[in-house]
Amino acid sequence: MKRATRNSLLSLVESYFQDYLRRMSGVSVHTMRAFQDGLRLFFTFLAERTGRQIDRLELDDIREEAVLAFLDHIESVRHNTPRTRNCRLAALRSFVRHLLRHDIARAEQYRRILALPAKRAQSRPIAYLEPEEMRVVLAQPDRRRPDEVRDHALILLLYNSGARIAEALGLRTCDLTLVRPFSVRLHGKGGKDRICPIWGETAAALREHLRRGECSEDGLVFRNARGGQLTRDGAAYILKKQVDRAAQKLPSLRRRRVTPHVLRHSCAVGMLQSGNELVAIRDFLGHASVATTGIYTRTNLRMKREVLSTFWKRAGLDVRSHRPWRPTPKLLALLTSL
């Protein structure tokens, strides 16, 4: 392994994104964009801190004290939350691990950065829709219109499969099996594919969408009005439009921010409510660890009530109902004679 030269920082940045993240790690486009934003902010801060242009920064500038100052800056000046701070630190750690692989001479300098702890952040409850809320949302698209046939198929697929939005938007017709047994092949994070069974209703919605839509050479399932691939923003707009309509009939949806990822959470919680084991849900959603899937056990109030009720009965503390006491005729006669 060659020792990194004095001014090789920019070349290592390029190899990090082009070779490591894109080709070797296979991270999602969303993760790639988040890491790019994090490093861009860090290098901009570092250039201001050192008084040099970004292209004049060196490997010796990537130090623990600089990273700590940057993390303090994004909280105190940019007013970012601890959660965002931890995301920026995760991006820097990933990049520093890449530096360590190519610049062993500065191993101790990089080790200090990798040892920086994440900040404890308050966990937010998972947002999801109950099945009765989803039914109202799914009833909103006007399926006499081709674009809303597409909207209905997309929303139903996201809820049924728990697909990440990038997985759904990247689907091609060759990924769909719309004859029994119905299924969809999802291309997940890290180049990992998984096959998810889908309901007959979902298969029918997809068939109707493909029948009424125009065929394209690339086989994309979900396209925009111009024939290109539907974007994240486009999918979010579609969902918001249907949720806003549903909110007119279901007040609980008002002031709720329902994103495509909320439908993934809704799928997970629905599967958990149906009695499925965490391992099965993990495989269905494509989680790397069952610990990630475990967050759904902490978020559903109805399930918590059921667990508490089961525990109460198991402990033998269940209060059984009794008939209200009424005096017998003999007792009434005795009392009258006194």
Summarised one tens digit per residue, pLDDT across range 224-233 is 999 999 999 9
* CA–centroid distance for 54 within its chain: 33
How large is the average pLDDT for residues 26-36?
82
Do 225 and 64 touch, CB atoms closer than 8 A?
no
Q: Binning pLDDT at 50, 70 and 90, where does residue 217 land? A: confident
CA distances for 307 relative to 127, 297, 323, 331, angstroms: 21, 11, 28, 45
For residue 318, being part of any structural domain is answered with no
Distance CA 86, CA 207 (A): 43
Structural domain includes residue 320: no
Residue 338's pLDDT is what? 66
**Same domain membership, residue 287 and residue 158:** yes
Question: Does position 4 have pLDDT exceeding 80, yes or no?
Answer: no
Tell me the residue range of the domain where 137 lies: 131-302
User: Which pair of tokens denotes residue 312?
Assistant: 């109460």
- 57 and 166 belong to one structural domain: no
CATH code, domain with 18? 1.10.150
Query: Which among 274, 273, 301, 279 is positioned nearest to 292, based on CA atoms?
Result: 279
Show Cβ contacts of residue 95 under 8 Å, excluding neighbours closer than 6 positions. 13, 16, 35, 39
Rounded Cα–Cα distance for residues 178 and 205 (Å): 10
Express each pLDDT in 284-309 by its tens digit.
Answer: 999 988 888 888 877 766 666 666 67
In this predicted structure, the answer to whether residue 223 has a pLDDT above a threshold of 90 is yes
Q: Clarify whether residues 235 and 294 are in a common domain.
A: yes
Q: Is the pTM of this model over 0.85?
A: no
Q: From CA 234, how far away is CA 213, in angstroms rounded?
A: 17
Check whether residue 95 and residue 20 sit in a common domain.
yes
Catalytic positions, written as ranges: 164, 189, 261, 264, 287, 296
Please check whether residues 173 and 298 belong to one and the same domain.
Answer: yes
Please write the tens of the pLDDT for every residue from 140-191.
999 999 999 999 999 999 999 999 999 999 999 999 999 999 999 999 877 7
Helix (H, G, I), strand (E, B) or coil at 309: helix
Band (322; pLDDT cuts 50, 70, 90)? low
Confidence of residue 46 (pLDDT cuts 50, 70, 90): very high
Mean pLDDT lowest among 68-77, 195-204, 212-221, 235-244: 212-221
| pLDDT score, position 319 | 55
Residue 190, both tokens = 């890290």
pLDDT value of position 2: 45
CB of 153 within 8 A of CB of 208? yes
Residue 184's φ and ψ, nearest 5 degrees, are -140, 140
Amino acid (one-letter) located at 85 = R
Judged on CB neighbours under 10 Å (0-12, 13-18, 19+), 143 is middle
The H-or-E segment that residue 184 falls in is: strand 183-187
Whether residue 294 sits in one domain with residue 152: yes
Rounded to whole angstroms, the Cα distance separating 125 from 122 reads: 10
Counted domains in the chain = 2
For residue 214, what is the DSSP state?
Answer: P
Cα 148 to its chain centre, rounded Å, is 25
Residue 228, domain CATH: 1.10.443.10
Give the chain's largest Cα–Cα span: 112
Q: How far apart are CA 232 and CA 158, in angstroms?
A: 13
Region 246-272: mean pLDDT is: 94
